[in-house]
Amino acid sequence: MAIFKKPRLTVLSVLIVVACFATIVRVGNLANNIVAYVHDAPQNMQETMSTAHAADDDANIHHEEGAEDQATAPMPDVKVEDTKNDVSRWTDALDTDLELPELRVEMFKELITRREELDKRQRILQQREALLRAAEQELERKYEELTQLKSEIGSLLEEQSAAELARIKSLVKTYEGMKAKDAARIFNTLSMDVLIEVMSQMSERKTAPIIAAMETERARQVTVLLAEQKKLPSLPVQ
């Protein structure tokens, strides 16, 4: 014969039973609330609509009263400004600014300063131009003086050359007529420039015995210089 053991209650079993009971209670409360809301919904909607209609009626009454007040109220005086006077009084912004005393004074000062600077530059340019003209005139005068001096010097050189040539020819004729020993003795004391100038004008037939009678060193120098002079090209006759 089987023996059935009596089940033991545990804490977990008790908690499960309590939770199930609490859930059943909450579901019952929720169902009651839904039923009450469904039952009261038509009444609440009717009250809301009545309140809205009453508010609309009040608004319409106030609107009609305001319209009647506006219709019966006197029209306010509207001040119409004369546009002709506005047009006559209108001025450009630049003209208004120019009429300011301080701005006009400042612009006047700037114009005066600018004019002074331009006048100063003009004076400087005029001074420089005057200096350039004076320098140009001075250069022209110096050039004319140099040209005249050159002409005078040229004339003097020509005269001197002609006189020198005549004097040399006279000396050449004199020394060619002298004896070789006498001419050699004089040639030993003359300056080398004069000696070469004279002997270069003499004929070789006359200079040969004179050189032979001169001092040995002096004769050697004269011979070398005469040979070099012959190698030099002759200057063109002006």
Q: Tell me, letter by letter, the H, E, C secondary structure of 174-214.
A: HHHHCCHHHHHHHHCCCCHHHHHHHHHHCCHHHHHHHHHHC
Highest mean predicted confidence (pLDDT) among 12-16, 31-35, 186-190: 186-190
pLDDT (mean) for 221-231? 85
Could you give the angle at the alpha carbon of 82 between the alpha carbons of 81 and 87, nearest 5°? Answer: 120
Q: Which residues contact 195 (CB under 8 A, 6 or more apart)?
A: 187, 222
**Percent of the chain at pLDDT exceeding 90:** 18
Strand, coil or helix: what is 2?
coil
- How confident is the model at residue 171, as a pLDDT? 86
The mean predicted confidence, pLDDT, of the chain is 74
- How confident is the model at residue 138, as a pLDDT? 92
DSSP 45-98: HHHHHHHHHHHHHHHHHHHHHHHHHHHHSPPPPP----HHHHHHH---HHHHHH
Q: What is the C-alpha R_g of the chain?
A: 73
Q: Which residue has the higher pLDDT, 137 or 83?
A: 137
Q: Sort 218 into a burial class: Cβ within 10 Å, 0-12 / 13-18 / 19+.
A: middle
Tokens of 85: 């006077």
Residues in the chain: 238
pLDDT (mean) for 126-133? 93
pLDDT at 226 exceeding the cut of 90: no
Highest mean predicted confidence (pLDDT) among 16-25, 79-88, 89-98, 184-193: 184-193
- How confident is the model at residue 194, as a pLDDT? 86
| CA 176/CA 205 separation, integer angstroms | 10
Query: pTM of the entire structure?
Result: 0.34
In the structure, what pLDDT confidence band is assigned to residue 20 with cuts at 50, 70 and 90?
A: confident
- How confident is the model at residue 80, as a pLDDT? 47
- How confident is the model at residue 122, as a pLDDT? 94
Strand, coil or helix: what is 7?
coil
Q: Which of 18-27, 95-104, 201-210 has the lowest mean pLDDT?
A: 95-104
